[in-house]
A and B are shown apart, each in its own frame.
Chain A
Amino acid sequence: MPNMFTLVLQIAVVLAVCRLVGTIFLKIQQPRVVGEMFAGIMLGPSLLGWLAPQFSTYLFPASSLGFLSALSQVGVIVFMFLVGLGINPKELKSHGHAAVLTSHVSITAPFVLASFLAIYLYPRLSDDSVPFTSFALFMGAAMSITAFPVLARILTERNLLQSRLGTVAIACAAVDDVTGWCILAYIVLLIRSKGTGNPIWLTVGGLIAFALIMIYGVQRLLRRFESTYRNRGQLSDNAMALMILLALASALCTEWLGIHLLFGSFLMGAIMPKEQKFVRYVLDRFEAIVVTLLLPLFFAFTGLRTNIGLVKGPEMWMYCGVIILVATLGKLGGSMVAAWWTGMPAREAAGLGTLMNTRGLMELVILNIGLDIKVISPTLFSMMVLMALTTTFMTSPLLQAICPDQMLRTPVDAEPEKFAGVELGLNPAGD
């Protein structure tokens, strides 16, 4: 049984610190979620444990972390369902070749650069229990992810959601996330299949069968949610509970099949109906509890696992710097080059690259999985968390510096001859 006093105290402190730091970050033109991520790190051994180790041990005794972890995981399961719900890869079609090319390059460029970096880091920060292939693929997946929800939050807060830049970024991020999660599922499968002793083909076969059932069977049933919403203008509490039950059941299936709970909830969200009002309605119903209560617990739990003190000495900080540089070069640079190649003006392409470089919360989710399956060490985990914080933090100021406001707010249907048609080849106008 958890010590309820400790658990409630932890939740109260985490909520208070997250709200406070989130509010401060709002004042410096950063999304609240970035502040909450920082708050989580502050509550861990990197700051609180360093400044006041006794208080830290009192507040977060090792025996209590299992309960905090369980609560935060439930939050992330529901959150991944919402992420899947918000993603609509079909949006890519409306942006033609430009978005397809940009999204694919924004995955391959950081992925390939990360795998090159893995050659350097593997002998230095890994050990022989981790095969190089798993290490390199994980680094690639972790660096190629874009934080779809944080990106959406940044675009919403800056009123850019309906802009040309915003819609392309959202479409590309959706593809990035789906691809990133598929790659991650493969890596988890590779590593876990060794532990269970089950042949990998059995797990893969099971997963393919599960995905087909979900897409061609369950998805049809899910349309009833949308039709009910359309007829009544709302969904009953029973319908909402059923939705959560389905997400949990799907999560349990993927866990049972040998990958991770989160893939199941993400898949359930991804196959939900995508009618905009319906999606907004469901997000509104869930977001309050998930975003306000459960995600801060996840940030705190991640912070408790992050020990920046492990990154000590010039050599380690150099590795950390190289990781941030490669991640930025691959994601920002790759997306920018691809967008520019497809005819987007250079400054706007740089803005798109900056947006795609936002990793935020999704990166933390992936990194926690990597640490759980021991494909990355605690030190590398801390470095990657720093990378996630840096790349997310830099998004807003960099975007402000690169793109003037009127360019950012170009509506989606403006200048169709320049972009929507997506003439490929180098744009002679350059910028």
Chain B
Amino acid sequence: MTHSNRNFVFAYVLLVALPLFGLAGVLRSGRKLSAPISVGGLWKINANQDQLAGLLCGKFLLAQNAAFTISQSGRAFTLNLPNSAWSATSGAIEGNTINATLIPSVVAAKDPGCAEHSLSLTAIVDPKASPRSLQGTLRLQNCPGCAAVEFRGIRDEQAKTKETH
């Protein structure tokens, strides 16, 4: 082996082969890492209709055919309702719990009493359920007398798969 080739082999081992061993180590150790629970996708919501009807601004939730989409980035997410009564809102994930505050849009704000209230959404996601499901409550903020509305949600895994492919 010539001096030049020996140097090439040395440089190749140092600059290419060794880092690849490092990569293997990273991939191995990274498997132990845990990322926030996945909540992104289309969620079909089933809420108690009577409770919703009694909720201030609840008719706007009834009108939306009970579904919302979540776009997730790590612990943060954006929740979009398919109608324009509530603005897209950002929320946070803590463990298996998601929290978001929905603010009435211009449309909903025209309804008496709606403008002053935002709606807080809290739900616990079941990570083992397939399709993934959640259970939570919708509560009007600044309204101590208003009862919370319970709801359940199931993620539309087919829609998620279709988006993937």
Interface range on chain B (Cβ under 8 Å from partner): 35 or more
| Contact between chains at A123 and B33 (CB < 8 Å) | yes
Q: Which of A108, A132, A380 contacts B19 (CB 8 A)?
A: A108
| Contact between chains at A119 and B26 (CB < 8 Å) | yes
Rounded to whole angstroms, the CA-CA distance of A149 and B30 in the bound complex is: 34
Determine how close the nearest CB of chain A comes to the CB of B9; give it in whole angstroms: 9
Q: Which of B7, B15, B35, B161 contacts A105 (CB 8 A)?
A: B15
Asked if A132 meets B37 with Cβ closer than 8 Å, knowing A115-B23, A119-B26, A374-B164, the reply is no
| Contact between chains at A128 and B127 (CB < 8 Å) | yes
| Contact between chains at A119 and B33 (CB < 8 Å) | yes
Rounded to whole angstroms, the CA-CA distance of A11 and B71 in the bound complex is: 28
| Contact between chains at B36 and A123 (CB < 8 Å) | yes
Q: Is there a chain A Cβ closer than 8 Å to B142's Cβ? A: no
Instruction: Report B-chain residues with C-beta under 8 Å of the C-beta of A424.
Output: 4, 7-8, 10-11
Segment at the B interface, from A158-166, A334-342, A345-353: A334-342
Rounded to whole angstroms, the CA-CA distance of A425 and B22 in the bound complex is: 23
Q: Which of A129, A334, A379 contacts B74 (CB 8 A)?
A: A379
| Contact between chains at B19 and A341 (CB < 8 Å) | no
Q: Is there a chain B Cβ closer than 8 Å to A303's Cβ? A: no
Chain A residue nearest in CB terms to B28: A133
Instruction: Report B-chain residues with C-beta under 8 Å of the C-beta of A287.
Output: none
| Contact between chains at B7 and A126 (CB < 8 Å) | no
Chain A residue nearest in CB terms to B161: A195
Q: Is there a chain A Cβ closer than 8 Å to B101's Cβ? A: no
Instruction: Report A-chain residues with C-beta under 8 Å of the C-beta of B72.
Output: 127, 377
Instruction: Report B-chain residues with C-beta under 8 Å of the C-beta of A310.
Output: 73, 78
| Contact between chains at B26 and A127 (CB < 8 Å) | no
Q: Besides A118-B26, A136-B27, A424-B10, 16 other CB < 8 A contacts?
A: A101-B11, A104-B15, A108-B23, A124-B74, A127-B72, A132-B30, A132-B33, A136-B26, A192-B165, A195-B165, A338-B11, A377-B73, A378-B73, A379-B74, A379-B76, A424-B7
Ordered nearest first, which 9 A-B pairs have the shortest CB separation? Answer: A424-B7, A379-B73, A129-B38, A377-B73, A127-B38, A132-B30, A125-B74, A112-B19, A115-B26
Determine how close the nearest CB of chain B comes to the CB of A261; give it in whole angstroms: 12
Interface residues of B (CB under 8 A from A): 4-5, 7-8, 10-12, 15-16, 19-20, 22-23, 26-27, 29-31, 33-40, 71-76, 78, 127, 161, 163-165
| Contact between chains at A132 and B164 (CB < 8 Å) | no
Q: Is there a chain B Cβ closer than 8 Å to A229's Cβ? A: no
Rounded to whole angstroms, the CA-CA distance of A122 and B32 in the bound complex is: 11
Rounded to whole angstroms, the CA-CA distance of A98 and B34 in the bound complex is: 41
Determine how close the nearest CB of chain B comes to the CB of A340; give it in whole angstroms: 11
Chain B residue nearest in CB terms to A102: B15
Asked if A112 meets B20 with Cβ closer than 8 Å, knowing A119-B26, A132-B30, A136-B26, the reply is yes
| Contact between chains at B23 and A112 (CB < 8 Å) | yes
Chain B residue nearest in CB terms to A109: B19
Asked if A122 meets B15 with Cβ closer than 8 Å, knowing A101-B8, A127-B37, the reply is no
Instruction: Report B-chain residues with C-beta under 8 Å of the C-beta of A337.
Output: 15
Rounded to whole angstroms, the CA-CA distance of A371 and B73 in the bound complex is: 12
Q: Is there a chain B Cβ closer than 8 Å to A423's Cβ? A: yes
Q: Which of A116, A131, A425 contacts B26 (CB 8 A)?
A: A116
Chain A residue nearest in CB terms to B163: A374
Asked if A97 meets B4 with Cβ closer than 8 Å, knowing A136-B27, A378-B73, the reply is yes
| Contact between chains at B4 and A422 (CB < 8 Å) | yes
Determine how close the nearest CB of chain A comes to the CB of B68; give it in whole angstroms: 15
Q: Is there a chain B Cβ closer than 8 Å to A273's Cβ? A: no
| Contact between chains at A124 and B75 (CB < 8 Å) | yes
Determine how close the nearest CB of chain B comes to the CB of A253; give it in whole angstroms: 16
Asked if A123 meets B8 with Cβ closer than 8 Å, knowing A105-B16, A310-B73, A341-B15, the reply is no
Instruction: Report B-chain residues with C-beta under 8 Å of the C-beta of A377.
Output: 40, 71-74
Contact mask for chain A residues 129-153; partner B; CB cutoff 8 A; 1 contact, 0 none: 1111100110010000000000000
Contact mask for chain A residues 315-357; partner B; CB cutoff 8 A; 1 contact, 0 none: 0000000000000000000100110011000000000000000
| Contact between chains at A128 and B34 (CB < 8 Å) | yes
Determine how close the nearest CB of chain B comes to the CB of A314; give it in whole angstroms: 14
Determine how close the nearest CB of chain A comes to the CB of B124; give it in whole angstroms: 15
| Contact between chains at A128 and B71 (CB < 8 Å) | no
Instruction: Report B-chain residues with C-beta under 8 Å of the C-beta of A130.
Output: 35, 38
Q: Is there a chain B Cβ closer than 8 Å to A284's Cβ? A: no
Rounded to whole angstroms, the CA-CA distance of A396 and B80 in the bound complex is: 41
Instruction: Report A-chain residues with C-beta under 8 Å of the C-beta of B20.
Output: 108, 112
